[in-house]
Structure 1
């Protein structure tokens, strides 16, 4: 691998300019060129000049077609946050009445549906596309007639929408491009769970989906899984400014498939070898293997884990503390409570067991008033539900963006090395098995489900061409890494 390949990652990884997909300029004029003039005129006439936090965070990824889960309450400006990208989508696709519904917005109550419709009407002032409101209590026959003529953007309550989907033959929705579920928690609270499931099953699967909710519950989590098929972009608004983690800490996550995890880690560490970095793993054997591997390929690292003698752990600890730069690989138990000064990066290579453990890990950086630090959480696409637990625990995370073309492609060299070097091969095998066992013992099994692991792809990240056999049956009686099984997001609170 060329050194330049590693260095280029700094252009996109967190800590670099432009890494966050959040508009730094919050003026609506900053959307010019990305949003059509008709919409811009509507925004201006509504009297809006500055975007709210949820708008600045949501509009850019939505304009790019991303699915999105937003944590925001009424009054945060979320209505425009989803309406502007929705209108832009219909505009760019040149929707005509004969194309039928392109966007469906589901609101929990008639009152909120009418409010949303009112904002939409103002935003659509200079557009030619059709839009309408359907809700319980209104004239169903008139609604059906209107739907038959073709309504491009529909604001609806769940019960009446399902009624029309099932019983209005002239309602064209096969061309649907976007589904927006507003105040999902309220929709579920008032008993529309079954209707929502039926609606989602009736609508076309290939679509953009946005879901907004003020709170996270087991039901909203299940709805998110059902409604959002693609990797969603998660945004949240901190309403109280009371965070569970310190203010000088820039925190984010990257979505990485199993087979690319080591390539990402290697590239990141090579780029940051002149900084002070701590990397967390889920098992002692994984720390041991990666310590041996990285040192073997000339990327010097230190390690602390529970299977080391206390004297070794202590000497390594002081060595890392006194060093100006260095990389320390560790497990949670070994590192908890350590007061290590001036750590630049905390990398969570393996996911923490719960938000509390996350907070403990990142507490190793940005310690003390005015201190700065960075935290990177690496998640598989199937693990993105963990972000909802973190948001509930008042942990503010943004998605860090980077280009896979900048990741060092050393997979073939890794596989050759593990295939030829007996000692590294044995160490890799033990680390792989320990990773799978640790995953199987995770307390948040609804998020970290071993059934979602593609074991051959996991094995690739340890340098194997074929996955070694792992017998989990003898570990069935092992407790989870913590006793907090079956946690719900609402039961977790951040630390002071």
Structure 2
């Protein structure tokens, strides 16, 4: 691949021997400086596919002044931290600087790092825009390479406007690489806006699971939805005791499972949106260092994270779509290793199971747990309900204490500095006003709420009843998890039924309708005179000067017939 020696040395030090298919396809194209639109399944080594050509370019063409030349955009903080560590490892034998700008970490230290103008910046869209509007010395006009990693996830939420703003602020003369696990219409729109004549790379279907993954399913009977917690507890204490990731649909259920499994004496960590950034990083670090055996997570950890040695993935409920399922089970059996996924499937989730079985290349297995084991664990969990409630109460009190401390600290700061000094501090600005952001979020929330709950009386009744009771039973909790997944699937289906937006036509598709005749390109006068071989032109060049030219030059007027005398002069006189 013609990589330079420092990079080859780093690749060897990291223990890589053979490039993956996406790396084989992307690295040579990236080295040529062409735009790339790449789509590959999760766990195929996309990070090195864009990091290596970028580092090669930076080594080959040293920078003239202190400017940031490469920008990598990622959807989540955890993925940003992972990309940053991989890039640092690949650049360990060359003097290329990297910087990480993601939410949840200290703003001031990030601003100081950005002032030093690192060669490569890895950022999440929100924090990057914050720095662009509030750090005067930082700009994107010198960006030579823009990389959009996990582009489909970035377009899922409220990132669309932020992405457009960042692309607008970047230099127009740049190389852009777009990497995505799925090629949706939104990603195609983004590609048509940000890429110039891209090379399209598609490596295996993004709806394929890893080749060495063993897929297992546990059937939940219609009236036994409340057994889910007991089944998961039984699996984790009896069968899968280490290197396990447990996925739930909601943050609330993830937290509850974390408490329950902890009370059962297991080493557990949690990873979801209700935790602070330091807590999330700490949970990830402890799981990677094998200090904890089980990591309970929501879909925040289902994308891009490469955690070495995950043996088993357990799905508490089936995820929203096949795409989400592929991403969840993609945390194991990565890069050619073996792995196992165990999913709990209720009656309402059978349709998705059929689709997975249909798409599976290897046989799918059914796992059966003895009923007496399930009942034993169900009894245990029921006895622990009081302890769970006590833990939740303690946490609520702790949160209140922290809020009170934060308010006291703010009041102290006001007293020390004085209100006028605090007011003088410049407020951090954003590319949208508060009103615009509020309107956008409310519109999106109302739309989703409307789509999910229109005509669904059963759901409204379920939510009302749950609020009245206060505490939900195990069956109701499981039902709520499934309900959330169904609501998401409905929103997605509704979105797909909408009329498609007009957008730039991809290169592969032939233009529809009758082909328009192209107008011939107008030639210059010089070209026309040089290439004109018509009789009139030839006669003009053979005949000599025209009447006007003779007049200007003072030449005697030449009669049209020359010296030829008309026949009339030679007529015989009568």
TM-score (norm 1): 0.43
Structure number with greater CO (CA < 8 Å, separation at least 6) is 1
TM-score (norm 2): 0.37
Which of 1 and 2 has greater Rg? 2
